[in-house]
Chain A
């Protein structure tokens, strides 16, 4: 009988070991690598089934350095949900990769990094001390960088990987500063101890710590203004986009903020900042998604926008709402990405203007994409509706009307672009001549499973809230029928309903709205370049680079060389001036001897 306390540790170790073994298997029998990875994913998923039963129980921990370094596990619902998302969606992605990545090379690198990533996401969310959290956070960043640049021969991909790494690095510095400050003030890295002692920390330091955490979250979850890396990260294989940049890693920022929300509650001004960041990012993301034509980019901006919603939720104190939306979003966004992957795989293009009328040829993909798009839009009965509505409700209760209005606008645009994308890709007339057929079963089965999840995952709200309160986090217990009743009778529902209807109308009559483009061309121009964020950053980095090269040139040539030349000149000058003493006259030398003698005698006698 296996010791149940070992389950979290096993959940962490199995994918880690898999990641380490993949290169070995590649050496022995390279064709077996994908199947081996799927097998490891299966084992992890099976272990994951035991995890919810362990919520609230103790887990075994390994102490590396007493008091400092420990692999410990914290088993409450807040941790378990992201870990399970990583496990199960990771498993589905691995199955999907069997088909999607069949014709690629260097598969061992891909599968090894994917397994490592799954392990680190599990490690990060289950970690009970800040140091382990930060360690796994960084490992995820490295995996993301390596996987974005998977097609390293393409310079766009390589530079996108570097851009992602650098941008999240800025956030990581904030995170590290916050963690170290807490350590310096409380002497412990343990998360629960650190949060409990938050009340004793002085307010200015608490502000700094909060800022650090927020910076880390903003970087990792691609919020404004550090959102620029996520659209470029779409150079990665679509499976990676689905796993890392929709379902798991970008959720790490939201998870972090949810985890330290007790600390953040002590500094209300920062909470307002988080609300506004979330709302504005939601609007920005949906705006940009409405006007771009690269399918993966649309989905990337959509992810940014939905993460903004989660930030808004944390900012108004609805921690459960944020995690619930995280859960729904992981499912439907993963679904959308995988469908997009199937389409791109078949057509060989990412531009939606070259797609169209694919419904006839890819019915399964089309249907599941539609379900995902409807969930994104927030159509009632799908999981996106319930979670988004819950967020708006929390915002209303907290009285944050400004962010609420912005978020409602964003929902309007979300409805528009989700319908638009589906229409352009799957409906209408065919704009491509490539022969298209449905994706293989190995790819469509995960799609179907995820679509099913989009339809019914909200039903799990009952058990989720039950276990939530079991471990001390605050949320009322809601069963699924209660959720139905409450949602349809809340004020927020009115807003959501209006928004959906308006969005649908805009979509339906979008051809008639073409006159808008001529009226404000500058606006559309700005939107097409991502509102100028990228240009700003590249200008800034060029400035820093040239400034530093000027400085280093100055240092090298003026200062260092100057020292060299000055030394030489001084020696020569000294020798020229002291040459006068060598007269060649014996008496002069004797005179010097006598003078020296007198001086020495004087020194001795005194």
Chain B
């Protein structure tokens, strides 16, 4: 069952690479993130799945689309064909999922033992506490970098 998800994931990844329109590529990337999070759920890692969904399919996609809208000042050249490809893929994927669930329920059964949320939290805070320090540093670096990069030209001239 995981194979199915991952197969579709690869398909959408291929699309993201090959499509010329960058907006559509970013949308394909969002689909990849969503499918990956489903795969994580199927592999009994709900924590990772939740994070991946919220971050990949949510935060990254939003940021990317926002930036693209700033960047592409001209009117978007939409390849009609490309959109169709994406929409078609999504539909087909959903259909196949539905079919599988209806026809082979056992295939969707979870073969792996579940992990509880509490376990991961415990590991994160107790065992990998040390990792949180570089995390904070990375976040700080990212913030500063973004601020530096987004500084307006005019502010430079004043100084």
Chains A and B touch (C-beta atoms under 8 A apart)? no
